[in-house]
Structure 1
Amino acid sequence: MLSSFLEWARQVEASRGTEWVEVRVTKGRNSENSSARLDIDKPTAVARITCWRSGDYDAEIIDIESERTLYSCHGVFLQGRPIAEQVSPFFDALDLAVKE
């Protein structure tokens, strides 16, 4: 699942970076349950989705000014379902469109 997440996250990174939105993908060190992150920085919020090799993921959005958590979710990615579909509530909360 991690390789599917990385492929999708790199597509998001390539298509979403703008003057107002910074997007980065980071692959963690190899371990028993390696991970990768998709970080999105907006003028008003910071956001991250972390995916582990096991398919588990955490998604969080924090308001920069108030430091309040705007969105927080833990789940497991399902094989055969597009990742974009599975994290669409995250992107809705962030007010960003994402391609399937």
Structure 2
Amino acid sequence: MTSPKLSNLITHFESNGNYMVDAKHPKYLNGKVIINKKGDGFTGVPEEVWNFYVGGYQVCQKWLKDRKGRTLTQEDIIHYQRIIVALQETIQLMKKIDEAIPGWPLE
């Protein structure tokens, strides 16, 4: 999480002053990860990033679920946005690798 690329945030956090992750959240709707009943959340989240799994976990959802009932700090918000960039970069690298390998498994 130290790459300079991660500072090029692709999302914004919109809030009505409530940074709490509510029960039954997060939810994904039309490019927005909603963290509470008031509709606070992260806009500009690509669907493929939201749906990306690592080790059986949906990363974007799990990170916020682990903070349910807590108020996100400004540091938490920036960290989550950096995770989204890291996942998007990972997805792009995976696509490039798939394109470079003509068929899998190799014969």
Q: TM-score, normalised by structure 1?
A: 0.32
Q: TM-score, normalised by structure 2?
A: 0.30
Larger radius of gyration: 2
If asked which structure has higher relative contact order (CA below 8 Å, sep 6+), I would say 2
User: Between Structure 1 and Structure 2, which shows a larger proportion of strand residues?
Assistant: 1
User: Between Structure 1 and Structure 2, which shows a larger proportion of helix residues?
Assistant: 2
